[in-house]
């Protein structure tokens, strides 16, 4: 099928994009990589009257180190993160997660900001942003505000982004020398949205875990932290008894909805498998960088 008729405008500046959003409201959609939006249009599941192309906005570009932060523009494509040496060196969590984001063809066009702002509950980037404690920069060309990833995702496809705002960039705090990351997901086929996935960040000192951030995706309406498991595992070397207590705590923290393919019980089981895998991975001696 082909998309219904729509108008197209290319925004020159952030303020321009924001002004168009104010003018057209719910009838307008921002177009970045178009990997979700255009598919939805082609299937006629949505009929916006106007697409505002933000693909050429300078403000959304670039991967760069700033004092204490790794800043990645919202318009940066998945493939650029996957291949970035700076990201691999400073925030390997994103490098580990990138190959799981859909298929290569989609990674060539889809953007980090698109994935975050769309906030699919089973998408990889929102969970990575949560695990790596990223700060999101939102703006309308005149004003900027910052929101922590933990506060940004509100409910199913619902975020703190206001109707006239554009997601500009994500800032990830640079991890200390003891910080380690692990990422794992289970999908029916490679490239599908995950049934369940996990992004894990923790300090590892002499085989002992501390300062954990465990973010699951596909387990609820937003990416969510397994706070009980974080508390259980903190200060431990993840011995069998602690691990099984951490796994049990997942039932307290997460009540996933069943979908057409997996029951809630199956999802809970997969989450426990992933938690064990991720903790095992993070405790492996790290290869020399």
Partner 1 sequence: MELQGEQRINASRDEVWRALNDPRVLAKCVPGCEEIRRISDTEMEARLLAKIGPVRAHFSGRIVMHDVVPPESCRIAFQGSGGAAGMATGESKVTLTAADGGTRLNYTVQAAVGGKLGQIGGRLINASARKMADEFFQALNEQLAPDAAPASVPPASVAASSPSAAPSRRLPAVAAGVPSAPSATGPVWASEFQRILWLVIGTGVGWIACRAFSL
CB of residue 41 to partner 1, shortest distance in Å: 9
Which helix H or strand E contains 180, and what residues bound it?
Answer: strand 179-186
Distance separating alpha carbons of residues 199 and 215, to the nearest angstrom? 5
CA-angle at 145, arms to 142 and 148, nearest 5° = 160
User: What binding mask, one character per residue, do residues 146-165 give for partner 1 by CB under 8 A, x or -?
Assistant: ---------xxx--------
Phi, psi for 69 (deg, rounded to 5): -130, 150
Distance separating alpha carbons of residues 165 and 206, to the nearest angstrom? 45
Say which residue the tokens 């300062």 belong to.
211
CA-angle at 92, arms to 90 and 97, nearest 5° = 145
Choose between 120 and 253: whose C-beta lies nearer to partner 1.
Answer: 120
Distance separating alpha carbons of residues 74 and 166, to the nearest angstrom? 9
User: What binding mask, one character per residue, do residues 70-99 give for partner 1 by CB under 8 A, x or -?
Assistant: ------------------------------
Q: Does 221 bind partner 1 (CB under 8 A)?
A: yes
Residue choice 257, 265, 280, 286 for contact with partner 1 (CB under 8 A): 257
C-alpha of 12 from chain center = 27
Choose between 152 and 172: whose C-beta lies nearer to partner 1.
Answer: 152
Residue choice 22, 47, 103, 145 for contact with partner 1 (CB under 8 A): 47
Binding-site size for partner 1 (CB under 8 A) equals 25
CB of residue 181 to partner 1, shortest distance in Å: 26
Site residues for partner 1 per CB under 8 A: 1, 36-37, 40, 43-48, 118, 120-122, 155-157, 193, 220-221, 257-261
């Amino acid at each position: 099928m082909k998309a219904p008729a729509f108008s197209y405008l290319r925004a020159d500046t952030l303020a321009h994009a924001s002004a168009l959003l104010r003018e057209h409201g719910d009838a307008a959609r921002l177009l970045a990589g178009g990997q979700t939006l255009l598919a939805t249009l082609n299937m006629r599941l949505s009929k916006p009257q106007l697409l505002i192309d933000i693909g050429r906005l300078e403000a959304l570009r670039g991967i760069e180190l700033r004092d204490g932060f790794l800043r990645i523009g919202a318009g940066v494509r998945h493939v650029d993160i996957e291949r970035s040496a700076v990201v691999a060196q400073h925030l390997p969590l994103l490098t580990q997660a990138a190959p799981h984001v859909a298929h290569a063809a989609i990674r060539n066009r889809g953007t980090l900001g698109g994935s975050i702002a769309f906030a699919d509950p089973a998408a990889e980037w929102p969970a990575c942003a949560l695990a790596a404690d990223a700060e999101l920069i939102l703006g309308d060309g005149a004003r900027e505000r910052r929101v922590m990833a933990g506060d940004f995702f509100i409910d199913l496809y619902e975020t703190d982004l206001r109707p006239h705002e554009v997601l500009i960039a994500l800032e990830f705090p640079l991890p200390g020398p003891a910080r380690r990351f692990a990422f794992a997901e289970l999908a029916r086929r490679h490239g599908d949205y995950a049934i369940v996935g996990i992004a894990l960040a923790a300090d590892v000192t002499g085989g002992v875990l501390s300062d954990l951030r465990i973010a699951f995706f596909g387990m609820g309406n937003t990416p969510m932290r397994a706070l009980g498991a974080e508390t259980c595992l903190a200060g431990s070397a993840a011995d069998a008894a602690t691990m099984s207590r951490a796994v049990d705590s997942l039932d307290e923290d997460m009540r996933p909805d069943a979908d057409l393919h997996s029951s809630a019980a199956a999802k809970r089981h997969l989450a426990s498998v992933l938690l064990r895998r991720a903790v095992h991975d993070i405790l492996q001696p790290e290869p020399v960088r």
